[in-house]
Amino acid sequence: MVIRPDDWSVVIAGRWNKAILTPAGIAKRLFGIDESNQIQVAVPLDGLSPYQVRHPLHDVVAMSDESRLIILAIRNTYENLEHAMAAGVNALSSLPDTPVTAAGFNVSYCCKDVPPDLAKLFKADVDTPVAELGKSVRSRSISRSLGYENGVLNITLSWDDAGFKLQCNFNLDSKDDEELKGWLQSPLAEAEKVVNQLVDKLELEIEEVEHDDDGQ
């Protein structure tokens, strides 16, 4: 079964000051760009969701609320994820007084249908009493947390009406800025190796990503 990259991101949990992380603030502090007119800003129509600030050169978008700073990879590649992680390091460096609690980077894959062999993994003893309730099961998930460096790798397999998803969350809980910066500077080659080994063990195949001619 072929799976495709989906929803790669960097998340830093903390009490982020939205008054500082304006579009201009994100451009300067996260992206290192002094001219804020170079960035692209998507303003939410509902007036409640955070605005999204896109880097003019790299395929990453940043947004924040009071509890999280999120940096999304527009194209889900390790190169773009590395740019997102670098922006996270810049945020921790330029706003060192922000109370933080964790940082993580996420590599996920999805496909429309759950692979038949993996569908068997979702069956559990709890299914019998649940079935007796006479209600349809709308989603199923399996999760494991593995030790990874000085943090954890949270692996989640989920299955719902939208299809199958494999999520790999590399997370470190810490209130120390330097520890979190070190985590976001983790060699992605090793993370990629671990993810690929997991995909191989699950007998899945990753869809090849087309690259632009300039490599961006």
Compute φ and ψ for 158, nearest 5 degrees. -135, 155
Residue 214 lies in a domain: no
Residue 144 lies in a domain: yes
Find the range with the poorest average confidence among 36-45, 148-157, 180-189. Answer: 36-45
Distance CA 216, CA 205 (A): 24
Compute φ and ψ for 26, nearest 5 degrees. -65, -45
Residue 213 lies in a domain: no
Task: Give the per-residue pLDDT at 18.
Answer: 85
Structural domain for 99, as ranges: 2-206
Residue 39 lies in a domain: yes
Beta bridge partners of 40: 54
Percentage above 90 pLDDT, the chain: 65
Number of domains comprising the chain: 1
pTM reported for the whole predicted model: 0.88
Predicted confidence (pLDDT) at residue 192 exceeds the cutoff of 60: yes
Predicted confidence (pLDDT) at residue 35 exceeds the cutoff of 60: yes
Residue 212 lies in a domain: no
**Helix residue ranges, H only, the chain:** 23-29, 78-94, 116-119, 127-131, 177-184, 188-201
Residue 211 lies in a domain: no
User: Between β-strands 2-5 and 100-111, what pairing exists: parallel, antiparallel or unpaired?
Assistant: antiparallel
Q: How confident is the model at residue 215 (pLDDT cuts 50, 70, 90)?
A: very low
Residue 100 lies in a domain: yes
Q: How confident is the model at residue 36 (pLDDT cuts 50, 70, 90)?
A: low
Compute φ and ψ for 3, nearest 5 degrees. -115, 150
Task: Give the per-residue pLDDT at 117.
Answer: 79
